[in-house]
Amino acid sequence: MTHAEHIPGSPPASLDQARQLAAALLSERGEASGALIARQLQQTMRALDADGRHGFQSYLASAFQPDAAALQDAAKRYLADGTAAAAAALADAADPPRQEVLRRMNMAPGGTASLIAMRSEIAGRLGSEPELKLLDADLKHLFVSWFNRGFLELRRIDWQSPAAVLEKLIAYEAVHEIKGWDDLRRRLAPDRRCFAFFHPALPGEPLIFVEVALVQGLATAVPPLLVQDADQDSAGLRAAHADTAIFYSISNCQDGLRGVSFGNFLIKQVVEELQAEFPQLKRFSTLSPIPGFRRWLSQQPQSGGNEVAMLRELDREGWWHDAATCETLRPVLMRLCAQYLTRSPASGNRIDPVARFHLGNGARLERINWLGNTADRAMAESFGIMVNYLYDHDSIERNHEAFARVGEIVRSPQVDALL
Amino acid sequence: MTHAEHIPGSPPASLDQARQLAAALLSERGEASGALIARQLQQTMRALDADGRHGFQSYLASAFQPDAAALQDAAKRYLADGTAAAAAALADAADPPRQEVLRRMNMAPGGTASLIAMRSEIAGRLGSEPELKLLDADLKHLFVSWFNRGFLELRRIDWQSPAAVLEKLIAYEAVHEIKGWDDLRRRLAPDRRCFAFFHPALPGEPLIFVEVALVQGLATAVPPLLVQDADQDSAGLRAAHADTAIFYSISNCQDGLRGVSFGNFLIKQVVEELQAEFPQLKRFSTLSPIPGFRRWLSQQPQSGGNEVAMLRELDREGWWHDAATCETLRPVLMRLCAQYLTRSPASGNRIDPVARFHLGNGARLERINWLGNTADRAMAESFGIMVNYLYDHDSIERNHEAFARVGEIVRSPQVDALL
Amino acid sequence: MTHAEHIPGSPPASLDQARQLAAALLSERGEASGALIARQLQQTMRALDADGRHGFQSYLASAFQPDAAALQDAAKRYLADGTAAAAAALADAADPPRQEVLRRMNMAPGGTASLIAMRSEIAGRLGSEPELKLLDADLKHLFVSWFNRGFLELRRIDWQSPAAVLEKLIAYEAVHEIKGWDDLRRRLAPDRRCFAFFHPALPGEPLIFVEVALVQGLATAVPPLLVQDADQDSAGLRAAHADTAIFYSISNCQDGLRGVSFGNFLIKQVVEELQAEFPQLKRFSTLSPIPGFRRWLSQQPQSGGNEVAMLRELDREGWWHDAATCETLRPVLMRLCAQYLTRSPASGNRIDPVARFHLGNGARLERINWLGNTADRAMAESFGIMVNYLYDHDSIERNHEAFARVGEIVRSPQVDALL
Amino acid sequence: MTHAEHIPGSPPASLDQARQLAAALLSERGEASGALIARQLQQTMRALDADGRHGFQSYLASAFQPDAAALQDAAKRYLADGTAAAAAALADAADPPRQEVLRRMNMAPGGTASLIAMRSEIAGRLGSEPELKLLDADLKHLFVSWFNRGFLELRRIDWQSPAAVLEKLIAYEAVHEIKGWDDLRRRLAPDRRCFAFFHPALPGEPLIFVEVALVQGLATAVPPLLVQDADQDSAGLRAAHADTAIFYSISNCQDGLRGVSFGNFLIKQVVEELQAEFPQLKRFSTLSPIPGFRRWLSQQPQSGGNEVAMLRELDREGWWHDAATCETLRPVLMRLCAQYLTRSPASGNRIDPVARFHLGNGARLERINWLGNTADRAMAESFGIMVNYLYDHDSIERNHEAFARVGEIVRSPQVDALL
C-alpha cells in the first residue's frame, strides 16, 4: 500500500482489515478457525500506525455491545422475580461481547502482550474519549482474572538471569534509578536479593519486582544500600550475618496492568522465601520515600514567623550540607513529617500513596529517617526524609484491619515520640 | 476432632471453618492476607469428607449472591436510559461475588486443580440440586477465561516424558484402551506422535491429548495402528516415508473442564507441527468411531422383510468372522451408515457426536470403512464400521460454514457413491 | 553390496572402510577433518555385522603400536641417565597411538557409547585372543580418565524421570529383579530413594544406581522392603519418621565400564544427599547378599557326623518352611556364616566379593540375618542369610585402613557373639 | 595460625597440609575417601597465597615420579623382547603417578577449574623452573583427553544467555574489544551469531567463542561489522537475506588450556549450524588480522630508495587519512602483504600465526583488503590490511593436505593477481 492509494477520510486498508478480523472472531468462521484469525489480526494490528490503532481501539470500544433486547428482557425478568437464577441470567445477558472478542484475540501467540500494550496506549485518552473507558474496564476485568495470583510465578533474578530480563530491571526501576550494568550487578550481589512475578503468557517480562538488601539492623538511609562494593565474598558473609531484610525498591513494570495488584502478594511471598533461605532474619522492613510530604507541607498554613523563616531555608540549594541548618530544621521537619504520615484517613485526609500501600498491606509505620536519601527526587519530594514500614508477620492482619476499618495508622513508639 | 464431639445435625468443625475462610476471602482480612487465607481454605477443604465437600459446595452456590438492591437499581437505570455505560454498570452489578470467591480460592497453590475437581464432583448432582447449576456455570465461566488457547502449551509426549505424565495417558485414553506400558510404548514409537495441551497451573496434567499414526495412504482400520512392532529403526523409516497422518484417538482428560473446548485447537495445531516436522505429509485425517449408528438404526422403521432378516444376523456373536454373512450385510450396512452420517442437522436430525465435532471443526466426511475396528465397543456401537474425517487446510473454513449455516454435510464422492 | 560381490577370504568393503577411516584419523586428513572422519567411522561401524566388528577390533588391537625405534631409543636413554625428564620422554614414546585413535573415535556424537559397547563386546574373547587385552587395557585407561568422579553427575531418579531412563532401571537391576512398572513404582515411592551417576556424554544412560529404603531400625529382611504399598501419603509419613537408610540394591549398568569404580563414590555421596534431606537419619547401612557362602561351605571339611546330617537337610526343597528344621539349622549356619565372613584376607582367604566391596569402602560388618531373603537366588547362594554393612562416617577411613593394611574385618559385637 | 607461629624458612602449615593431602590421595586413605580428601585439598589450595601455590606446584612436579626400579625393569624387558605386550607394560610403568594425583584432585567439585588455573599460573615460570615442564605436560595430557571434542557442547550465545556468561565474552574477546554491554548487544543482534564450546565440568565458562556476521557479499572491512544499529527488525531482515557468514572474531578463553585445540572444531561445527539455520548461505569466510606483517616487513632488506622513502611515510600518525599517500602506498603494501602471506613454510619461512591456523584448518587465502581495519592494533600490526580466509566445504581436506604436506598456500586468483 502506498500513501497515494489512501483516500483521505476513509480508513486505511489495514484498519478495515483489523475490524473485519475482529468481527470474524465472533462469527462462524471464528468457531472453526479462531486461533488462525486471531493470529492474522495480531499481524494486522502490528502493521497499524498510531492512527490506525486509535481507530481500532474506538471500534472495539463501541462495536461489541450486548444485545439490547435480550438485556432489557433479562433486566425486566430479574426485577420481576429476583431469583438467583434470574440474576445469573441477567449477568449472562450483560456480559459484553467485547470481552469475548478480547478473549479470542488473546488466542494468538503474543496476544496477551498486545492487549496489555493496548490498555497502556489508551490510558492517556480516557479523559477525552470516555467511550474508551468501557474497553479499559473490560481489559482490566480480564487481566484481573488472567493475572490471578495462582497463575503468577515468583522467580529470583540474579546475575545468572538472561540479559534480556536484566535489561528490563534497568528500564523499569522506578524508585532508585539503575545506572547501567555495573550498578545492576551490585543490586544482584550476594547480600542482595531481587524477586519478580512472571506470567506464563509473558515469558521474560517481569510484572513487578522488588529489590532487597540483607543488612544488620534497620537500614535508615539509601546510600549505603546502593554503594558499589566489588567483593563478592564479603557480600556473601554479610548476607550470612544479616538479621534484617530491607525492601528498598519495588517497581511495577507493565503500565497496561495498572490497577491489577501484585505488590502485596509479592512482598509477602518474598518474606517467606527469605525466611526459608535465611532463618536467622528477624526483621522485614521497607526503606520508602514519602512522595507527598513536601506538597502537603506547602499547602499547610504556617504556624508562625519562625517556622516560615526556617522552612524558607529549604529553598537554598544544598542546604543539607550545612550542619547548623540541619540541626535547626531537623526537629521541625521530623515532627511535621510524623504529623503528615499519621493523619487518619477517617477524617478525610489524603494519605501518602506509598504509606497507603504499605499500611493497607498491614505494615506498621516504624521509623522516620532524617536525610535518608539526598538524591534529587527525594529532596524535592520529602527533603530527603525516608521512612521504614515494618512487615511483622503476626500483626499484619490486625494492622490491616485497624487501618481499613477505622483508619488507624499503626505506628511504633519511636514515631509517636516525634509528635 | 473425634466423632463424639460432633453434634448430630450441626456441620462438622471443618465445614464451618471452610465456610468462614471462604467468607473471609471477600472481607478486609482477605485484602491483607488473601493468599494466606486461600492456602488455609485449600488445606481445610482437603480434610473434608464427601459430606463436608457437599455442604461446602452448596454454601458456595447459595451464599455469594450479587447485592439485590444494587442490581435492581442498575437494572432500572439501564431500562431507563439504555446507554453502553449503563449496560456496563449493569454487568458490573450482576457479576456474582461467587466468581470473586472462586478467583480468590485460586490464589492458593493447587487452587486451580481443586476448583476443577469441585466441578467434576458436582456434575452428578446438577439434576437433583439445581442451585448447583449457578456454581457450575461460574466455574465454567472462569475456566473458559483461564484456559484460553493463548495460555495453553502444546507439548509432544514421547518415551522421554516423565512416567508421571505417561501413566495419565494410560488412565485417560478414552477411545482405544492402552493396555499397560508396552502398549503405551508402541503408541509413542518413531512412527507415532502424541501431543497434549498443558496449562501452567496444572503442570504434569494433560488437558487433552491426541494420538497420531504416520502411515502411507489413508488408514481404514484400527488394528494395524495398534499392533506391536518392536523395531524402532523400521518405525523411523516408516515415519520418513509416510504421506498421511491419522489422528486415531483424541481424549479429554479433565472432567471438570467439560464444555471448555480444546479439541479443535489441538487438531489444528498438531497439523501445523506435523507439517513442519514432515513436509512430505499430504493428508491429515482421523480414523473415528460412529458411536450413535446402531442406536439410530434400531430406531428406524425397517423397509422390508429382507432387510429385517439380514439385520437380525447382527445379533449373532462373531457374525463378522463369516465371510458370506459379511458379503450380504456389507452393502446394506454401508449404505445405511452413509445415510446416518449424511442426514442434515437442518432438518432437525441429531448428528452423531463425533461427526458433529469434526464437521464442526471444518473436516470433511471422507470415507466409511467396513470392519474398521472389531473391538467390542466398536462392534456394539457401529458394527465395526469406522470413518475418516479429512482435515484439508484450504477447505476447513468453507466446510465449517457450510455445516454451521445450512447444515451441509461436506463429503467425498466416495461417500456419495454409497448413498 | 550383495553377498555375490563379496570375495571369500577378503574383508567386506565396510570393514576395509572402517580400517581406512581409523587410519585416516591419525593422518593429515585427520588433522583437518577429524570430527568428520570420526562421524563417518561411527556410521561405518554401525553397519558392520559381528564378524566385521571382530575384524575391526583385531585391527585396532594390533595396528597402532608405538614406534619401535623411538621407544627403544627412549628406553635406552632412560636406562643411561634415569632423570625425571628421561622418564617423561619414555612415557611419551611408550604412549600407544591406539589410545590416540580411540580418543579421536570419541569425537563423533555417540562415540563414547560405541567405545563402551566395543569393550563390552571383546570381554568374552580376551581369553582366546590375548592381543585384545591391549585394546581392552587402553579402553579401560581412557574410561578411568574420562569417567573421573569430577565429571559424573549424581541424579535422583523418581516417578518424574523419563520413561526411557526408568526402563533402564528395570533392565539393569542386578540384585532384586524389578518385575515391571508397578514394581518399579514402589521402588520410587516417597519412602524410597533411587540415585544414579550419569556422564554428560551418555545422557539418559545411568552408569550405576542404588536403591534406598527409609525405615525405622536396621532392616534385616528383604521382603518388607519390596512389598507393594499403594498409599503415597503414608509412605511420605514413613520417610519423615525414618531413622535409618537401607541401601538394599546397587547395580552397575555398563558392562563396558567394568573395572572403573563408581560404587564407593556413589554410596558416599548418597549418604550426604540423604543426610541433607533427612537430618534425622542416624544410620546408613546396606542389606546385602553373601554370594560366596554356600560355595565356600561346600568346600569345607565337615567337622562331624551331626553337622553333615544337618547340612544335608538343606538340600530339601522348602526346608525353611519347617520351623523345627530352622531351629536346628539356624545356630549352625549363622556361626558358619560368621566364620566365612570374618576370615582375614591376610591369611590368603578369598573374601566374599560383596564383603570385599563394602569393607574396602570402609563399612563395618554389622549384622547377619537369618532368612533375610528367601528368593531363589539368595537361598541358593547363602541359604537365605543376608548381612548388613554399616557406613559410619566417623570410622570409614579407620575401617578401610584396617582392612586394607592388615586384613582386619571390622565387625560389631553382635557378629563376634556368633563366632 | 598466627604469623608468630610461622618459622621462617619452613613451609607454612597450609602448604604442608596441601602436600600431605596430595600424598594421601594416592594412599590407602585415598582409596576409601578419595573424593573427600580431594575436596579438602581443594579448600586448602584455595587458602594458599602465591608463594604457597608455587611451593605446592613444585612439589607436584617433583614428588610423584614413576618407580625407578620397575621402570628400569620394564625398559630392559622391552629392549630384550620388543613385543607389543612388553611395550604396553613399559607404557604402564612409565605412566607417572603425578597424572594419577592430578586425576584424583579432579574428583572435587571445582577440581577441573582449579587444575586449569594451576596450568595458567605456571606458564610464566616454565623457562626459569624447567622441572615444572613435567607438570605442565601432564596437565596438558589430561586436558587433551578430558576436553576431547566428544565432550564439548556447542551453545549459541545470545541476549537470552545469563549475564554471568555474557560478561565473560566482554572479558575474553581478544580480537575486537567489546566496549561494554551496548557493544556486546550489537554483537548478539539478529544478524549476528555467537557460538561457544562449553565443557560440563566448567558450566558457565566458555572455552572458546566465535563471532559471526551475516552479510551480503564478502565483508572486506571491520567497521561496518561493529557499527551500532539499534533496529532489531531490520537486522532480522538482513540475516534473512544474507548470503555470506563472516567469522570476524575467534577468542580462546582459558589460558590454562593453551595447546588444546578447539578452533578448528568450532569453526566447522558453526558452519554446519549456520547452514542448517540459513540454507541460503553460500560463503563462509573469516575477516582476519595479519599480526606478523609489519614485523616481517621491517626485517626485509628494502629493494630500493623509492620504496624505503614510501614506507617511511607509514611512521606518520594518521597517514591513511591522506588519499594521495594511500594511493601511492596501496599497491606496494598490498603486493608485499601478498608476498608475506604466500611464502611457503616448506622453505623454512615462519608463517603468520593466524594464517597458519586457518590454512592448517583447510581454508583458502581468499582476499587481501586495503585498510580493512584502522583500529590502533591493526594499524600497528599490518597497516590496517585485513585478510579473508575462505572455508569451502568441498576443498577443505584437499587444501589442508596441500598445506600440511608440501607447504602450499592455497589461494584465490585475486591474491595471485597481487603478486
**Closest Cβ–Cβ partner in B29, B103, B268 for A397:** B29
Q: Do C401 and D32 touch (CB under 8 A)?
A: yes
pLDDT over 90, % of chain C: 73
Mean pLDDT, residues B364-391:
95
Question: Which residues are CB-neighbours of C200 under 8 A, at least 6 positions away?
Answer: C151, C153, D151, D153, D200
Residue C283 C-beta-side C-alpha neighbours within 13 Å: 20
User: Looking at chain C from residue 168 to 227, which residues have their Cβ under 8 Å from any Cβ of chain B?
Assistant: 180-181, 185, 204
Mean pLDDT, residues A4-22:
72
Query: Is the pLDDT reported for residue A1 higher than 50?
Result: no
Single-letter amino acid, residue D173? E
Task: Check residue B34 and give its pLDDT.
Answer: 82
Where exactly are the structural domains of chain B?
3-146, 150-286, 293-418
A96 touches chain B (CB under 8 A): yes
Angstrom distance (rounded) from CA A416 to CA A394:
21
pLDDT band with cut points at 50, 70 and 90 for residue A4: very low
Strands B283-286 and B244-252 turn out to be: parallel
If phi > 0 it is left, if psi is from -120 to 50 it is alpha, else beta; for residue C122 that is alpha
Which of A3, A288, A321, A347 is labelled catalytic?
Answer: A288
C166 touches chain B (CB under 8 A): yes
Which of D176, D249, D358, D382 is labelled catalytic?
Answer: D358
Q: Pull the grid cell for residue C146.
A: 574420562
Cβ proximity of C260 and C182 under 8 Å: no
Cβ proximity of C345 and C351 under 8 Å: yes
Task: Check residue C380 and give its pLDDT.
Answer: 92
A283 touches chain D (CB under 8 A): no
With contact defined as 3+ CB pairs under 8 Å, the chains touching D are A, C
Task: Check residue C309 and give its pLDDT.
Answer: 75
pLDDT band with cut points at 50, 70 and 90 for residue C125: very high
Q: Strands, DSSP E only, in C287-401?
A: 364-369, 386-390
The tens digit of pLDDT for each residue in C155-171 reads 999 999 999 999 999 99
Angstrom distance (rounded) from CA B196 to CA B153:
8
Angstrom distance (rounded) from CA C115 to CA B404:
62
What does the DSSP 8-state code read for residue B310? Answer: H
Taking CA atoms, what residue in A is nearest to D184? A163
Cβ proximity of A96 and B91 under 8 Å: yes
Angstrom distance (rounded) from CA C67 to CA C89:
13
Taking CA atoms, what residue in A is nearest to B269? A35
Angstrom distance (rounded) from CA C331 to CA C418:
8
Q: Which burial class, exposed, middle or buried, applies to B330 when counting CB atoms under 10 A from its CB (0-12, 13-18, 19+)?
A: middle
Per DSSP, what are the bridge partners of residue C208? C197, C252
The tens digit of pLDDT for each residue in C290-309 reads 999 999 998 887 666 677 77
Q: Strands, DSSP E only, in A171-277?
A: 192-198, 208-215, 244-252
Q: How far is CA D36 from CA A390, C208, C264, D30, D100, in A?
A: 45, 20, 12, 9, 16
A346 touches chain B (CB under 8 A): no
CA D87 to chain centre: 34
With contact defined as 3+ CB pairs under 8 Å, the chains touching A are B, D
pLDDT over 70, % of chain D: 95
Long-range contacts of A106-109 (CB under 8 A, 24+ apart): A106/A38, A106/A142, A106/A146, A106/B148, A106/B149, A106/B150, A106/B151, A107/A34, A107/A35, A107/A38, A107/B148, A107/B149, A107/B150, A107/B265, A108/A35, A108/A38, A108/A39, A108/A41, A108/A42, A108/B150, A109/A39, A109/A42, A109/B150
A160 touches chain D (CB under 8 A): yes
pLDDT over 90, % of chain A: 74
Q: Other CB atoms closer than 10 Å to residue D231's CB: what's the count?
A: 11
Angstrom distance (rounded) from CA A396 to CA A408:
13
Single-letter amino acid, residue D368? I
Task: Check residue D262 and give its pLDDT.
Answer: 93
What does the DSSP 8-state code read for residue D344? Answer: -
Q: Do B112 and A84 touch (CB under 8 A)?
A: no
pLDDT band with cut points at 50, 70 and 90 for residue A11: low
Mean pLDDT, residues A115-143:
95
The tens digit of pLDDT for each residue in B13-38 reads 799 999 999 999 988 777 777 888 99
Minimum distance, in Å, between the CA of residue A318 and any CA atom of chain B: 41
Taking CA atoms, what residue in A is nearest to D204? A160
Angstrom distance (rounded) from CA B187 to CA B209:
12
Q: Decide if A54 is catalytic.
A: no
Angstrom distance (rounded) from CA C23 to CA C17:
10
Strands D283-286 and D244-252 turn out to be: parallel
C55 touches chain D (CB under 8 A): no
Task: Check residue B230 and give its pLDDT.
Answer: 63
Cβ proximity of C206 and C194 under 8 Å: no
pLDDT band with cut points at 50, 70 and 90 for residue A77: very high
Q: Other CB atoms closer than 10 Å to residue B46's CB: what's the count?
A: 11
Angstrom distance (rounded) from CA A364 to CA A359:
6
Ramachandran angles phi, psi of D20, nearest 5°: -65, -40
**C/D Cβ contact: 3+ pairs below 8 Å:** yes
Collect all residues of chain B within an 8 Å Cβ-Cβ radius of residue A37.
Answer: none
pLDDT band with cut points at 50, 70 and 90 for residue A2: very low
Ramachandran angles phi, psi of C402, nearest 5°: -60, -40
Cβ proximity of C141 and C254 under 8 Å: no
Q: Do A90 and B82 touch (CB under 8 A)?
A: no
Task: Check residue D375 and give its pLDDT.
Answer: 92
* Fold type of domain C3-146: Butyryl-CoA Dehydrogenase, subunit A; domain 3 (1.20.140)
Per DSSP, what are the bridge partners of residue B193? B212
SS3 C2: coil
pLDDT band with cut points at 50, 70 and 90 for residue C317: confident
Task: Check residue B247 and give its pLDDT.
Answer: 97
Q: Do B71 and A78 touch (CB under 8 A)?
A: yes
CA dihedral angle for residue D257, residue D262, residue D266, residue D269, rounded to 10 degrees: -130
Q: Which one has a higher pLDDT value, C260 or C32?
A: C260
Task: Check residue A5 and give its pLDDT.
Answer: 42
- Considering just the CA atoms, what is the radius of gyration of chain B in Å? 26
Single-letter amino acid, residue C47? A
Q: How far is CA D180 from CA A334, D71, D184, in A?
A: 43, 55, 6
**Closest Cβ–Cβ partner in D87, D109, D404 for C71:** D87
Angstrom distance (rounded) from CA C169 to CA C163:
10
Q: Pull the grid cell for residue B82.
A: 439504555
Mean pLDDT, residues A209-231:
89
End-to-end CA distance of chain B: 69
Task: Check residue D351 and give its pLDDT.
Answer: 93
Long-range contacts of B393-397 (CB under 8 A, 24+ apart): B393/B271, B395/B362, B395/B364, B396/A32, B396/A33, B396/B268, B396/B361, B396/B362, B396/B363, B397/A29, B397/A32, B397/A33, B397/B362
**Closest Cβ–Cβ partner in D87, D150, D360 for C65:** D87
Q: Do D400 and C29 touch (CB under 8 A)?
A: yes
CA-wise closest residue to B284 among B219, B373, B378:
B219
Q: Pull the grid cell for residue A321.
A: 550540607
H or E stretch including C214? strand C208-215
Average of per-residue pLDDT values in chain B: 91
Minimum distance, in Å, between the CA of residue B215 and any CA atom of chain C: 24
SS3 A247: strand
D107 touches chain C (CB under 8 A): yes
Q: Do B145 and A103 touch (CB under 8 A)?
A: yes
SS3 D368: strand
Q: Pull the grid cell for residue C216.
A: 525405622
Query: Is the pLDDT reported for residue C9 higher than 60?
Result: no
Let me know if domain A150-286 sits in CATH 2.120.10.80.
no
The tens digit of pLDDT for each residue in A298-347 reads 888 766 667 777 778 888 888 999 998 899 899 999 999 999 999 998 88
C-interface mutation test, from B46, B160, B168, B183, most C Cβ less than 10 A away: B160
Taking CA atoms, what residue in D is nearest to A162? D162
Task: Check residue A310 and give its pLDDT.
Answer: 77
Q: Which stretches in chain D have pLDDT values below 70? A: 1-12, 230, 302-305
Q: Decide if B199 is catalytic.
A: no
Angstrom distance (rounded) from CA B21 to CA B144:
26
Single-letter amino acid, residue A143? F
Cβ proximity of C78 and C38 under 8 Å: no
Angstrom distance (rounded) from CA C390 to CA C396:
9
Mean pLDDT, residues A79-87:
91
What does the DSSP 8-state code read for residue C27? Answer: S
Taking CA atoms, what residue in D is nearest to C71? D87
Q: Other CB atoms closer than 10 Å to residue C19's CB: what's the count?
A: 18
Strands C244-252 and A283-286 turn out to be: unpaired
Average of per-residue pLDDT values in chain C: 91
Q: Do C163 and B164 touch (CB under 8 A)?
A: no
Report DSSP letters for A9-59, one per residue: TSPPHHHHHHHHHHHHHTSHHHHHHHHHHHHHHHHHHHH--HHHHHHHHHH
Minimum distance, in Å, between the CA of residue B130 and any CA atom of chain C: 36
Q: Do B163 and C162 touch (CB under 8 A)?
A: yes
Q: Other CB atoms closer than 10 Å to residue B380's CB: what's the count?
A: 12
Angstrom distance (rounded) from CA C348 to CA C327:
33
CA-wise closest residue to D329 among D343, D315, D340:
D315
* Fold type of domain B293-418: Aminopeptidase (3.40.630)
Q: Where are the alpha helices (DSSP H) in D64-173?
A: 68-81, 84-94, 97-105, 111-122, 132-146, 163-172
Are the folds of C150-286 and C293-418 the same?
yes
Single-letter amino acid, residue B364? R
Cβ proximity of C388 and C220 under 8 Å: yes
Question: Which residues are CB-neighbours of B127 under 8 A, at least 6 positions away?
Answer: none
Angstrom distance (rounded) from CA D133 to CA C84:
11
Q: Which one has a higher pLDDT value, B281 or D182?
A: B281
pLDDT band with cut points at 50, 70 and 90 for residue C30: confident
Q: Which one has a higher pLDDT value, D9 or B234?
A: B234
The tens digit of pLDDT for each residue in B100-144 reads 999 999 999 999 999 999 999 999 999 999 989 999 999 999 999
Angstrom distance (rounded) from CA C30 to CA C21:
9
Q: Strands, DSSP E only, in C261-352?
A: 283-286
Taking CA atoms, what residue in B is nearest to A136? B88
